[in-house]
Structure 1
Amino acid sequence: MRWGWPSGVTKQAEEMRVLWTWAGVAALAVGALVWGLIFWCCIRYRKKSDVLPRQTKYNLPIEIVYSIAPFFVIAGLFYRTAVVENNVNHLSKNPDVLIRVDAFKWNWQFEYLEDHGKKTVYAADKSTALSTVGSDNEIPVLVVPVHQSVQIIEHSEDVVHSFWVPEFLFKRDVIPYGPDHTSEDNRFQFEAVTEGSYVGRCAELCGTYHSQMNFEVRVVSADTYQKYLVALNKAGEDNPARQSEALQAAGMAPYATTTHPFNTDRTARAPSSAQNPTGD
């Protein structure tokens, strides 16, 4: 039962969907009860003659019910909201995968820091984390393993951005606490349960090309994820085509399939008057 909600692809997304679905059920139940009582009163106590019926003041049992019942409804919703919110915000001390997301105007960089407690670095210098970065011609692709806890560290190089994947039913702002990574950088964690490719977007107005600041999340098997890390390491940090080469080497499409690069050349389009000289 989704009632129009998208199907989430993470454990956290499913919890949020269930919460909102049953909150809707509760709202409909309360609404049906209230409207039912209103219509019942309209019919039961409608005017039947000119005789003034006996007037009644105060009804302690009813007053107690309509004072206490809303409290229990609100308390139940509050409790379930707090439980789900705590689960969504939970951060493991030792997640299976640790990734840093660097946002900047107007693209993304993904740094694969750790895999099951082991640092994932380029063999050439043994200190630089495996990473990919988007460009005007290539959408950045974030590859994560299915059924494993993935913790994201968010960092902004300039202004406020927001990491949003609609199928995660979740977004979190990327705050620029400084040019360097700090302990204040926002974090969140998820566990994907469905393999596939999902478009990601910046959900915070960040300037001229905000609407074009897209990325893609690939949820793959654990084996494919390991192949991707190995291929990324082999491609080398100085190789500008390392993302597409590593994706292809791991048996995936070399470029994003859910979105595409946008032409950021402001001279590529003629003025509107030149495109439509008649003004129609």
Structure 2
Amino acid sequence: MMKGLKKWRLFSMLAALMFFLAACGQEQISTLTPRGPVASEQFNLLLLSTAIMTLVIIVVVVIYVLALIKFRRSKVGEDTIPEQVEGNVKLEIIWTIVPIILLIILAVPTVWLTYTQAEVSGMDEVDAEGNKTALTVNVTAKLYWWEFEYPDLGIITAQELVVPTGEKVYFNLKAADVKHSFWIPSIGGKLDTNVENVNKFYLQFDKESEGLKDGVFYGKCAELCGPSHALMDFKVKTLSREDFDAWTAAALEEPVAPSSDLAVQGEELFVNAGCIGCHATSAAGTAGGQGPNVATFGDRNRVAGYLEHDAENLQNWIQNPQEYKPGNLMPSAADLNGGDDFTQDELDALTEYLMGLTIENK
């Protein structure tokens, strides 16, 4: 009776596991639904390695089961010792040559893809006028947020990467504090960001993100980096080249003046409280800010990278960021406001101002 119960427990656990893993197929975040050539090549390599491992497992299991059946005690007797094959030249050649062949089948495409996907010479190619022909993005990972600099365009953003579809996008990856890892599961990766050196690679985005859940692909930090590692998310918005050029032109324009008296109060508070010392409000600037650039804050779909993008979460985050992302460097409201939390009126003003910082509506 107890053995039967244990089997049902195992079955129930596996059924529950399948239920939760079913969400892994969402195309905005799943390696199993590649949405770019880099991810597709990596996925095909995953299928190849899985097929080889499955073949080896099947062969071993079949031999094991046949040996159990053929040489079971009830058939050969209690005192019978099967013929020993130790030193059998043919068998030793077979189980030496076959693994070597399987390793070669797996190693050749692995090595070829490793070097092919690390080829970044296109990053430096220029046209007849000396302009770069490919888009390059400098990615800086910080505790616990991401900065994206477009060095050839003069644009700085944070937390949301915007790229064109149908072309290679090159990345320079580095970290400002500790080791992180840049990963967009549906598009390809991942690659470490280090403090002491710059890693380079490229990705290609084949599908516009507009039709996806939340309208973005999801990016993650894939290297344990501190207490808020699991919350170090970013989003990727993919646009047609025409829409990307329009986004670029809008990003280089001067920030739009606050459109309401409440937003004006928020801007004044943003400056007087010292927020402007860490957070730039223009996408046209220089990299290296202590806090994320908020020029595109109104366009984002998340607060702090993972909270729903609404007034309540923004105000909670401003009051006590350590409660939502332990270990991050943003001071609490009391630290900025002489020991007191912001009043509700002040929070409403800051919210109105920050939500109005947008590029898409210019």
Give the TM-score normalised by structure 2: 0.57
1:229 corresponds to which residue? 248
2:157 corresponds to which residue? 132
1:41 corresponds to which residue? 67
1:264–1:166 distance in 2 versus 1, CA, 3 Å? farther
2:300 corresponds to which residue? 255
How far, CA to CA, are the matches of 2:253 and 2:186 in structure 1? 31
Unaligned runs of 5+ in 1: 114-118, 121-128, 134-139, 178-183, 246-253, 270-280
Task: Specify the SS of the correspondent of 1:9.
Answer: coil
Does the aligned pair in 2 maintain the 1:199–1:259 contact within 8 Å? no
Q: Is 1:156 aligned to residue 171 of structure 2?
A: no
1:30–1:255 distance in 2 versus 1, CA, 3 Å? same
- How far residue 147 of structure 1 moved from its aligned partner, in angstroms, is 1.2
More strand by share: 1
How far, CA to CA, are the matches of 2:230 and 2:88 in structure 1? 59
Q: Is 1:105 aligned to residue 143 of structure 2?
A: yes
Task: Specify the SS of the correspondent of 2:112.
Answer: helix
- How far residue 238 of structure 1 moved from its aligned partner, in angstroms, is 5.4
One-letter amino acid of the counterpart of residue 256, structure 1: N
Unaligned runs of 5+ in 2: 1-23, 26-30, 126-132, 210-215, 256-279, 283-292, 324-362
How far, CA to CA, are the matches of 1:205 and 1:185 in structure 2? 19
Task: Specify the SS of the correspondent of 1:89.
Answer: coil
1:28 corresponds to which residue? 54
How far, CA to CA, are the matches of 2:321 and 2:232 in structure 1? 19
Does the aligned pair in 1 maintain the 2:48–2:106 contact within 8 Å? no
- How far residue 227 of structure 1 moved from its aligned partner, in angstroms, is 0.8
Q: Is 1:71 aligned to residue 71 of structure 2?
A: no
Task: Specify the SS of the correspondent of 1:235.
Answer: coil
Q: Name which of structure 1's ranges 206-215 and 25-34 shifts more when overlaid on structure 2.
A: 206-215
More helix by share: 2
Q: Pick from 199, 202, 223: which aligns with 1:189?
A: 202
2:128 corresponds to which residue? none
How far, CA to CA, are the matches of 2:204 and 2:171 in structure 1? 11
Task: Specify the SS of the correspondent of 2:206.
Answer: coil
How far, CA to CA, are the matches of 2:228 and 2:82 in structure 1? 71
1:85–1:51 distance in 2 versus 1, CA, 3 Å? same
Size of the aligned set, in residue pairs, is 234
| C-alpha RMSD of matched pairs (Å) | 3.1
- How far residue 81 of structure 1 moved from its aligned partner, in angstroms, is 1.5
How far, CA to CA, are the matches of 2:38 and 2:251 in structure 1? 29
CA deviations over 1:145-199 (Å, ceiling 9, x no partner): 111110011232222222222223422221122xxxxxx3111111112221112
Q: Pick from 51, 68, 80: which aligns with 2:109?
A: 80
Identity fraction in percent: 23
- How far residue 15 of structure 1 moved from its aligned partner, in angstroms, is 0.9
1:126 corresponds to which residue? none
Give the TM-score normalised by structure 1: 0.71
Q: Name which of structure 1's ranges 92-101 and 218-227 shifts more when overlaid on structure 2.
A: 92-101
How far, CA to CA, are the matches of 1:68 and 1:268 in structure 2? 58
How far, CA to CA, are the matches of 2:169 and 2:96 in structure 1? 45
Does the aligned pair in 2 maintain the 1:142–1:218 contact within 8 Å? yes
CA deviations over 1:219-249 (Å, ceiling 9, x no partner): 111111111111111236853763257xxxx
How far, CA to CA, are the matches of 2:36 and 2:108 in structure 1? 22
- How far residue 202 of structure 1 moved from its aligned partner, in angstroms, is 2.5
One-letter amino acid of the counterpart of residue 172, structure 2: I
One-letter amino acid of the counterpart of residue 189, structure 1: Y
Higher relative contact order (CA 8 A, sep 6+): 1
Moved over 4 A (4+): 48-58
1:150–1:60 distance in 2 versus 1, CA, 3 Å? same
